[in-house]
Each structure stands twice: as C-alpha cells, then as structure tokens.
C-alpha cells in the first residue's frame, strides 16, 4: 500500500487505495458498453466484429493504463462515440477504403501528438468559440441519436430518387407527392418495442443514478429479447483472445497511410483531427483538468493522442478521455490508480468475449444506448449564446448539416467556415483570430474540393 501511495500520491490528494479501486471499478462499469457498441458500429465500415472487439478493448486498456501511469489522472480512455460513427457512416459516400480510414485515424493521432508537443494546441483551442465548440458536441449527439433510432427501427427512410412512374397513383394515374426522407418505423414490430423498452429502462436507471445503467440496459433488453425468441444465448463464457475469430490479424497494421495522403482527403484528416481534439479538450475541461493551470492538460492530451495513434494500428477508431470517468471521480477517485484499475478490468474482458458477441448482433439491444448517449451530449447546448446571432447561425449550420446530410464532417466544417464570416460581416472581424481563419480556410477546401459527400 505504501508503494502505491508513493507512486500515485494518493494520500497527498486526499484519497485512499480503497477509494481509488472503487472509483476505477465504477468508471469501468459505467463505460463498459463501448465493448459492445463500438464494434457494432464499426461493422458498418467493414471491420469484422471479433477482431474489432479485441482492438476496442486493447485501445481502452492501453489508454487508461497510460493515463494512470503517465498522467496520474483518474480518467479512463477508450474509442470515442461520434468518431466511430464518422468512420462508419460519415465516410461511406466518399469511396474511402477501410485501410484508408484506419490510416486517417493513425495520422490524426500523429497530428494531435505534434501539435501538443509544439504547443499549438492552445492556439487552435482559442480559435473556436464556446458556442461553436458546444455545437459540435450537440450535433454529434443528434447524429448518434438518429443512428440509434434508425438501427432500432423507431424511424426508417424511404428510397429517394424514384422515377415518376413509381409516384403515380394506382387509380387515377396522377402523380402524388414524393415520400418524406424519414418516417416513423413499424411500431408493431416486437424488436422495435424491445428497443423502446430498452431506452425507457436505460433512461430510468440513469435518472436513478444507477452505476452501469447503459450496460445494464443493453444486457437486460437482450435477455428479455432472447426469452421472447428474438435473440440468442451466448455460445460460451470463456475464450482465448488473439486466436480464431478473435485474432487481430484481419485488421491490425492494415492501415493505408500513403493512400490517405492525398489533397482530396486532407479534409477527412482535418475532421478526424478536430473531432478528437475537441472531444478531448471538452472532456478534460469537463472533468476539471486544467482549471488551476492549463499546463495540466498537456499529459492527458499526449495520452489521448498516443492512444489514437495506436488505435489506427490496432484497427479501431480514434480514442480519448471518457466523460464517464466523472462517475469514478464522484466516488472519490483522485489519482491514476483508478485509471489503472479500469485498464485491468478492460484487459479481463478479453477472456469473456463470447458473452459480448450476441449483444453486438442485437440492434434493439444496443441502439437505445446510442440514443441515450446522444441525449447526454445535448447538455452542451447550455453553453450556446442564444443572444448572439453571429454565434447561433454557425451553430445552427453545424447542427443541421451534421444531421440532415448524415455526415459529421459537413456540419463541423460548415460551422468553422461560417463563424469567422459572420463575425466579419457583422463588423466584428477583430474577434476572429488567425487560428480561426486558418481553420476556416482548411475547412473550405473540404466543402469546395473534397470528395463527393
């Protein structure tokens, strides 16, 4: 105990070993849903679920361990929600290969490392207004909620671009109005009912502040679905990682770095970089890091950047600090020992993968978690400056284009371009920093010269 206290300065920070262990366990239970949800989302990008699950766990374990040992912070790290959706859905129409997507993750991590080492981080962070930064989080939250609702079957879409003959009334022959892009799904479908139940269950558990509400909601909904004949029981409990269907060989080190270094793909790299940068900055600040001294952000940010770089090598999406770490902090965790405990628990998951596998195939079980995470991200809207239209118009463009074009990059880049222009046209050009103009120019290249999106 004395060794642990000396290594992590536990007593000096007003904590105990027992408290740190409890905090680490609490954080793990709260965020363990990522083991189920992240591979399920990345499967849409072509990543095989078994290897993707192993990569997710390894990224979470590495990042959390490094955060504990190097930064000595009670903050867990794992692949980000939002970024995984961008990899799976946002790049779907761009003709980017799976290998290029992983290469983009790797390069965005390297870029994050470089700007942190060079001290450019503060320059870029200061270039983005609080309202615009908050709009990124809210937009991604709405995007995740839309994905969850669609995966659950609560909402569905019509086929667009139909020929006129398909819109003809079968009786009169007159053309009718085209179908709307999105409509209410088949609520009579028992799987849709299960998804609605899963959302209500998870929301109720979270309202009662039950630890691990997301994971309990996923597992509970899946169990009920299996009992009703809409799922399957696990084929086993234990399995050896890195072998058979859990081998990393299909995705590890399969990244295409050269292929992604094209002018047309620069906006993709910029978007991944900005998403990781902003998510990390927002999460760390939200967890109280850097309140007394901005330099406190350096080590945690280096950890996030290193983990994102490793994520590209392993074959998963960008990673960073998790806001769910706040649950462990509320339990009294104050040092990196809590993050180390979380890392060890993630590593333990590698031997229980058969328990996870059925959940990843049940959309009605994991889709409600996406909606709930989206709801939680809406809390950032409290930072909007509704009285300043030069802030709100860019924020609205960010939100609407993220959701209505089904592409996070479109909204993020549109907001960064429109913000300095609104300030300039309103006669407030002095409020725009060189960093903001730099970001706007880079984002304009995405909107003007990027691949079809």
pLDDT single digits (tens) 105-162: 999 899 888 888 887 766 776 788 889 988 888 887 888 888 889 888 898 876 544 4
Task: With a cut of 80, say whether residue 94 has pLDDT above it.
Answer: no
Q: How many CB atoms lie within 10 A of CB 351?
A: 13
Confidence (pLDDT) at 160: 46
What is the radius of gyration, based on Cα positions, of the chain?
A: 22
Residue 8 lies in a domain: no
Q: Residue 453 pLDDT more than 70?
A: no
Average pLDDT of the residues of the chain: 85
pLDDT, tens digit (0-9, with 9 covering 90-100), for 305-359: 999 999 999 999 999 998 888 878 877 889 999 999 999 999 999 999 888 877 7
Whether 162 maps to a domain, the answer reads no
Task: Among 31-35, 52-56, 105-109, name the most confident range.
Answer: 52-56
Does residue 288 sit within a domain? Answer: yes
Over the range 35-52, which residues count as b (16 or more CB within 10 Å of their CB) and which as e? Answer: bbbbbbbbeebebbbbbb
Whose CA is closest to 145, among 97, 188, 195?
A: 195
Residue 32: the pLDDT is 87
Task: Answer whether residue 385 is part of any domain.
Answer: yes
Would 30 be classed as within a structural domain? yes
Question: What is the DSSP-derived secondary structure letter of residue 179?
Answer: P
Q: What share of the chain is helix, strand, coil (3-state, %, to 5)?
A: 70, 5, 30
Structural domain of residue 56, as residue ranges?
Answer: 13-157+182-449
pLDDT at 92: 65
Contact 157, 181 (CB under 8 A): yes
- Total number of domains in the chain: 1
The token pair that represents 387 in the structure block: 């009285």
- Identify the H or E element spanning 156: strand 155-157
Task: Considering only residues 295 and 179, tell me which one the structure prediction assigns the higher pLDDT.
Answer: 295
H/E run at residue 61: helix 49-66
Angle at 401 between CA 442 and CA 316, to 5 degrees: 70
pLDDT at 76 over 90: yes
**What is the greatest pairwise CA distance in the chain?**
86
pLDDT at 112: 85
Owner of token pair 């680490």: 24
SS3 of 366, please? helix
334 found inside a domain:
yes
Tell whether the model's pLDDT for residue 175 goes beyond 60: no
d(CA 84, CA 140): 11
Whether residue 302 is contained in a domain is answered as yes
What is the enclosing helix (H) or strand (E) of 79?
Answer: strand 77-79
Q: Output the pLDDT for position 232.
A: 75
Backbone angles phi, psi at 241, to 5 degrees: -70, 165
Specify whether the CB–CB gap between 184 and 154 falls below 8 A.
yes
Q: What is the pLDDT of residues 380-426, one digit of tens each?
A: 899 999 999 999 999 999 999 988 887 777 788 889 899 999 999 99
Query: Is residue 369 in some structural domain?
Result: yes
């Amino acid at each position: 105990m004395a060794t642990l206290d000396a290594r992590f300065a536990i007593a000096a920070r007003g904590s105990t070993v027992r408290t740190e262990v409890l905090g680490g366990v609490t954080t793990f239970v709260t965020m363990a849903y990522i083991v189920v949800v992240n591979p399920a989302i990345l499967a849409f990008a072509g990543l095989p679920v078994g290897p993707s699950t192993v990569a997710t766990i390894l990224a979470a374990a590495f990042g959390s361990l490094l955060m504990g040992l190097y930064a000595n912070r009670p903050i867990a790290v794992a692949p980000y929600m939002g970024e995984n959706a961008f990899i799976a859905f946002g790049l779907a129409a761009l003709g980017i290969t799976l290998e290029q997507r992983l290469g983009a993750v790797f390069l965005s991590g390297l870029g994050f490392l470089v700007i942190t080492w060079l001290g450019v981080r503060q320059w870029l962070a200061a270039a983005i207004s609080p309202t615009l930064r908050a709009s990124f989080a809210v937009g991604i939250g709405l995007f995740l909620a839309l994905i969850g609702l669609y995966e659950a079957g609560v909402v569905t879409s019509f086929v667009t671009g139909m020929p006129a003959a398909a819109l003809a009334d079968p009786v009169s022959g007159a053309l009718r109005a085209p179908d709307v892009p999105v409509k209410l799904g088949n609520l009579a479908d028992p799987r849709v009912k299960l998804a609605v139940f899963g959302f209500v269950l998870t929301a109720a558990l979270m309202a009662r502040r039950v630890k691990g509400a997301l994971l309990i909601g996923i597992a509970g909904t899946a169990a009920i679905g299996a009992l009703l004949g809409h799922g399957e029981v696990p084929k086993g409990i234990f399995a050896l990682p890195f072998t058979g269907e859990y081998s990393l060989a299909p995705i590890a080190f399969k990244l295409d770095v050269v292929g992604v270094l094209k002018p047309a793909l620069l906006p993709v790299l910029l978007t991944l970089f900005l998403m990781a940068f902003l998510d990390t900055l927002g999460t760390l600040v939200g967890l109280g890091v850097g309140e007394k001294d901005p330099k406190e952000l350096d080590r945690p940010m280096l950890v996030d950047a290193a983990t994102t770089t490793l994520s590209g090598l392993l074959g998963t999406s960008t990673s960073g600090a998790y806001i769910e770490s706040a649950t462990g902090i509320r339990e009294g965790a104050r040092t990196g020992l809590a993050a180390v405990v979380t890392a060890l628990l993630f590593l333990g998951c590698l031997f229980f993968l058969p328990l996870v596998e059925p959940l990843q195939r049940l959309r009605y079980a994991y889709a409600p978690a996406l909606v709930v995470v989206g709801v939680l991200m809406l809390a950032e809207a409290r930072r909007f400056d509704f009285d300043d239209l030069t802030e709100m118009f860019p924020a609205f463009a960010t939100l609407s284009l993220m959701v209505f074009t089904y592409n996070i990059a479109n909204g993020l880049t549109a907001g960064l371009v429109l913000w300095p222009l609104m300030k300039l046209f309103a006669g407030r050009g002095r409020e725009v920093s060189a960093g903001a103009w730099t970001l706007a120019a880079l984002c304009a290249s995405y909107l003007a010269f990027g691949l079809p999106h």
